[in-house]
Amino acid sequence: MIIAHRGASGVAPENTFSAFEKAVALKANMIELDIQLTRDGHWIVMHDDSLKRTCGVRKPVRVLPLSKMKTLDAGSWFSKDFSGEKVPVLDDLLSWAKNKISLNIEIKGKINLKGKAVGSLLKTISDHGMKKEVLLSSFNWNILRAVRNLDRNIPIGLLVNRELRSRYIKEALHLEAVSIHLPKHKMRKGLPEMIHALKMRVLVYTLNSLEEMERCASVGIDGFFTNYPDLPTQKKLPVKKV
Ligand code: G3P
Ligand code: CA
């Protein structure tokens, strides 16, 4: 399974419709994207906490309302060919993706778990009839617990950074996750087999060279995140499409 990381972010500005359209054109199986809340509680697509790197504005994402977010240029930093590219609103992205491609939505940012944010996210996904076409993930496992408390069925992928194996396996089972998303440095022979025995998939981030893809494919992972979703087919890496 080839997952376009922030869309096809090697060839178009990350987390924009250009990167998502390119991912579909390059035949990715899934698109990964990051979401955050605007000041007025709308979910938008953005990786960094700050707008500086991709929009050239020295402010945190959470201080701008949606109306201001819509005026930003999220493409020029990458290349002038993409100037005027908008910050996607999750609602619009779900409409676009429906019947086209599944989404791994990574929840970023600081969220008040006592508020309405998680509920509004689940409602938006459900309103679009996309509950079976999304995989929700986060490095913040408290957010994933809140997701699971509100929805017993929505697919969850546990994002792991430095945590020990015993800890992330325990959490994944607790969350009834369908997949565990591991950084490439944690990948070892035998690990996918062990996770498969617990009925979960193993996805690895972020592989941008053929060598890394080959190494991880050889230990039996189910898929990987990459900025270059056509690299395996270009170079004829024998990955199984699912
Ligand atoms: O979900 C895998 C990967 O996207 C996590 O890292 O920093 O690119 O969001 P990051
Ligand atoms: Ca991400």
The single-letter code of the amino acid at 180 is I
Q: How far is the CA of 205 from the centre of ligand 1 (A)?
A: 7
Nearest to 45 by CA among 106, 122, 4: 106
Which positions are annotated as active-site residues?
5, 47
pLDDT tens column, 112-125: 999 999 999 999 99
Ligand 1 atom at shortest distance from the alpha carbon of 104: 1
Locate all alpha helices (DSSP H) within 176-236, ordered by sequence. 191-197, 210-218, 231-234
Residues whose CB is less than 8 angstroms from the CB of residue 114 and which lie 6 or more positions away in sequence, other chains included: none
State how far the Cα of 119 lies from the Cα of 90, in Å rounded to an integer. 14
Cβ–Cβ < 8 Å for 98, 128: yes
Cβ–Cβ < 8 Å for 194, 164: no
pLDDT at 109: 81
Q: Say if residue 165's pLDDT is above 90.
A: yes
Q: Which ligand is nearest to the CA of 48?
A: 1
Which residue has the CA at smallest separation from atom 4 of ligand 1? Answer: 5
Label residue 238 by pLDDT band (50, 70, 90): low
Domains in the chain: boundaries: 2-232
Q: Say if residue 239's pLDDT is above 80.
A: no
Label residue 237 by pLDDT band (50, 70, 90): low
Token pair in block for residue 97:
């993706």
CATH architecture assigned to 2-232: Alpha-Beta Barrel (3.20)
pLDDT at 236: 59
Q: How far is the CA of 15 from the centre of ligand 2 (A)?
A: 9
Determine which of 78-92, 99-113, 227-241 has the lowest per-residue pLDDT on average. 227-241
Label residue 7 by pLDDT band (50, 70, 90): very high
State mean pLDDT over 204-222: 96
Q: How far is the CA of 44 from the centre of ligand 2 (A)?
A: 13
Phi, psi (degrees; rounded to nearest 5) at 232: -60, -40
